């Protein structure tokens, strides 16, 4: 169902006195969690787990596909969010950040039961105690919880608790040292109350609190929600008929990358203009108009030829190959904050350090598949996405084929040659179908084997009963014969004594 709700607008002189608009500066922000962890959880859900998520009222989150927040966009949004008045000032528009907006964006329950918090476990916190008993340490990370969550393939109360902890840690808040949010568990007295609780209001509470405590460094609050809200408002302004709710169904990482690219192309972000917003609704190929300065790219890749070269942060080599030339980083690059996400340059593509080995392998096997596309932030994101799909294919971890096909479509729209990836996906699809058929065969065989074992046990029990009946019959015949002998002896004794009946 499409939404026609319009953004709240005010004259510029009506802005809150405590909040002034800050232009986009491309300043990066570091967060304590990544939405990638939630994507990983959702990719491997079983039918029972999905059913439990639906019962809790969180079915919309199964469509969640934001695995990264552009760091410059995230910083700009957080700076322009005023926790005192709960508004987001994006220049031309003032967005009221309310629980109903959280519902429009995320689609999670906005019930009448408030979500309260309690740092220390109380005597009656049965669900919280049961949840904590899963872990050996009191220092619990999102990774610890996702590992436990995946074990409960049949769903159940512990699965629900683990899911809510992951959701409220990634889309709510963590501790400042990146431990999970478990305080809210104290407010769940009965799991049947979960769909009637105000999870939207809780997200807003987390946003206000974490922004109030933010000192400009690492942020531990719901930045993903804030970014998705901004994307929703952009869509609502330029194409209301396409701004469906919940917005999480169509807001993706690529959508957010495009939004940041528009800010970068507007003179360091002097507020979002109507003209700029309309670009968001166009095909992804339109983002090629927001290309970065090629001279800047050449300065970061001084080799400037077709050899695969890598510029690395720090002096630790992650690749060992005679065909690859390592280029030492500039001194100022070596002194970057260690908390920042490490990246390397591979053939001019600035990618996460973890992606680099995969990209090098792809370039060797399949050539420079993105050569026809001029490098910009959108291209980099799609290149990284291609690498991740390739990794999942190699490890047989392709769970949601539509997601992989979406990456291929985006790459083709950007004129990348990914025919080789389509071939690998086709092979993966065939293996998956074959494995599915083999799994069904194994399941059928297991049922037959179980039936045969049951039949054998019945035969054994039947044979035992038959032998026991035969033994009892023999005993009965022996007893009958003995009684016959005793009767005959008595009769003979009577006749010998001349007794008559």
pLDDT digits (tens, 9 = 90+) for 341-350: 467 788 888 8
Cβ contact 109:196 at 8 Å: yes
| pLDDT tens-digit readout, 196-212 | 999 999 999 999 999 99
Q: Which helix (H) or strand (E) holds 327?
A: strand 325-327
Closest CA to 386 of 353, 347, 348, 425: 425
| Position 120 confidence tier, pLDDT thresholds 50, 70, 90 | low
Cβ contact 204:249 at 8 Å: no
Choose between 29 and 440: higher pLDDT: 29
In this prediction, residue 324 carries a pLDDT of 35
In this prediction, residue 101 carries a pLDDT of 95
How many angstroms separate the CA atoms of 203 and 185, rounded?
14
Choose between 100 and 301: higher pLDDT: 100
Helix, coil or strand: residue 82: strand
Residue 434: burial class (beta carbons within 10 Å; 0-12, 13-18, 19+): exposed
Pairing of strands 349-352, 81-82: unpaired
Choose between 137 and 159: higher pLDDT: 159
> What proportions of the chain, in percent to the nearest 5, are helix, strand and coil?
55, 5, 40
| pLDDT tens-digit readout, 269-316 | 444 444 344 434 443 333 333 333 333 333 334 333 333 333 333 333
Q: Please list the alpha-helical segments (H only) found in 214-371.
A: 223-238, 253-264, 274-280, 294-300, 331-334, 356-366
Mean pLDDT for 70-77 is: 93
Pairing of strands 309-312, 325-327: parallel
How many angstroms separate the CA atoms of 243 and 105, rounded?
10
Residue 66 gets which letter from DSSP?
Answer: -
Q: Could you tell me how many helices (H) and strands (E) the chain has, helices first?
A: 17, 7
In this prediction, residue 209 carries a pLDDT of 95
Closest CA to 296 of 76, 22, 26: 26
Choose between 399 and 377: higher pLDDT: 377
Token pair of 338 as six digits: 């260690």
Domain ranges (residues) in the chain: 12-282, 288-417, 429-501
In this prediction, residue 119 carries a pLDDT of 66
Token pair of 72 as six digits: 């410059």
In this prediction, residue 269 carries a pLDDT of 41
Residues, the chain, total? Answer: 501
Mean pLDDT for 208-218 is: 94
- Output 97-101 pairs: Cβ under 8 A, ≥24 positions apart: 97/204, 97/207, 97/226, 97/229, 98/204, 99/198, 99/200, 99/201, 99/203, 99/204, 100/200, 101/229
Contacts of residue 450, Cβ cutoff 8 Å, sequence gap at least 6: none
Mean pLDDT for 149-165 is: 93
In this prediction, residue 302 carries a pLDDT of 38
In this prediction, residue 491 carries a pLDDT of 80
Helix, coil or strand: residue 110: strand
How many angstroms separate the CA atoms of 94 and 92, rounded?
7
Longest dimension (CA), the chain: 140
C-alpha pair distances (Å), 412 with each of 401, 405, 407, 421: 17, 11, 9, 11
In this prediction, residue 372 carries a pLDDT of 75
| Most confidently predicted of 124-128, 312-316, 385-389 | 385-389
What is the sign of the dihedral through the CA atoms of 343, 348, 349 and 353?
A: negative
Residue 461: burial class (beta carbons within 10 Å; 0-12, 13-18, 19+): exposed
Q: Which residue do the tokens 């050996």 mark?
A: 136
> For 267, left (φ over 0), alpha (ψ -120 to 50), or beta?
left
- The proportion of the chain whose per-residue pLDDT surpasses 90, expressed as a percent, equals 32
Mean pLDDT for 118-139 is: 80
Mean pLDDT rounded to a whole number for the chain = 78
Q: Which helix (H) or strand (E) holds 389?
A: helix 377-394
Residue 123, preceding peptide bond in cis (omega within 30° of 0): no
In this prediction, residue 279 carries a pLDDT of 38
Closest CA to 373 of 278, 309, 294: 294
Range with lowest mean pLDDT among 34-43, 46-55, 230-239, 270-279: 270-279
The CB-side HSE value for 134 (13 A sphere, CA atoms) comes to 20
In this prediction, residue 501 carries a pLDDT of 53
């Amino acid at each position: 169902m499409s939404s026609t709700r319009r953004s709240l607008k005010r004259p510029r002189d009506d802005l809150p006195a405590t909040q002034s608009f800050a232009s986009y500066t491309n300043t990066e922000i570091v967060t304590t969690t990544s939405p990638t962890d939630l994507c990983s959880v959702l990719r491997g859900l079983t039918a029972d787990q999905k059913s439990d998520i639906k019962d809790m009222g969180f079915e919309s989150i199964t469509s969640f596909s934001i695995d990264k927040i552009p760091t410059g966009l995230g910083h700009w949004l957080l700076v322009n969010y005023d926790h005192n008045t709960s508004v987001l000032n994006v220049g031309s528009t003032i967005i009221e950040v309310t629980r109903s907006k959280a519902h429009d964006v995320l689609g999670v329950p906005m019930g009448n039961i408030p979500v309260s918090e309690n740092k220390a476990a109380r005597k009656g916190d049965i669900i919280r105690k049961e949840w904590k008993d899963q872990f050996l340490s009191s220092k619990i990370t999102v990774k610890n919880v996702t590992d436990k969550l995946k074990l409960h393939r049949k769903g159940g109360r512990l699965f629900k608790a683990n899911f809510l902890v992951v959701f409220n840690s990634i889309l709510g808040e963590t501790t400042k040292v990146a431990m999970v949010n478990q305080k809210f568990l104290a407010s769940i007295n009965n799991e049947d109350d979960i769909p009637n609780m105000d999870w939207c209001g809780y997200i807003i509470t987390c946003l206000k609190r974490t922004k109030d405590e933010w000192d400009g460094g690492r942020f531990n609050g719901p930045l993903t929600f804030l970014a998705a809200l901004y994307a929703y408002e952009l869509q609502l302004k330029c194409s209301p008929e396409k701004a469906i709710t919940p917005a999480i169904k169509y807001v993706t990482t690529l959508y957010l990358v495009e939004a940041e690219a528009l800010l970068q192309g507007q003179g360091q972000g002097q507020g979002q203009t109507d003209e700029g917003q309309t670009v968001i609704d166009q095909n992804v190929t339109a983002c090629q108009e927001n290309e970065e300065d090629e001279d800047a790219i050449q300065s970061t890749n001084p080799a400037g030829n077709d050899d695969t070269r890598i510029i690395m942060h720090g002096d630790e080599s992650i690749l060992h190959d005679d065909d690859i030339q390592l280029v030492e980083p500039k001194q100022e690059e070596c002194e970057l904050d260690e908390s920042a996400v490490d990246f390397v340059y591979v053939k001019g593509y600035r990618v996460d350090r973890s992606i680099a080995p995969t990209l090098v392998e792809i370039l060797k096997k399949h050539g420079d598949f993105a050569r026809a596309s001029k490098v910009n932030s959108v291209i980099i994101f799609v290149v990284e996405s291609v690498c991740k799909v390739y990794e999942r294919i190699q490890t047989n971890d392709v769970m949601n084929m539509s997601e992989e096909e979406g990456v291929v479509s985006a790459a083709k729209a950007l004129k990348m040659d990914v025919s080789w990836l389509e071939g690998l996906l086709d092979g993966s699809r065939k293996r998956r179908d074959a494995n599915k058929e083999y799994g069904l065969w194994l399941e059928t065989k297991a049922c037959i084997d179980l039936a045969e074992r049951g039949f054998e046990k019945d035969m054994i029990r039947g044979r035992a009963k038959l032998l026991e009946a035969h033994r009892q019959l023999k005993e009965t015949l022996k007893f009958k014969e003995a009684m016959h002998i005793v009767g005959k002896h008595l009769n003979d004794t009577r006749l010998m004594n001349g007794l008559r009946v």
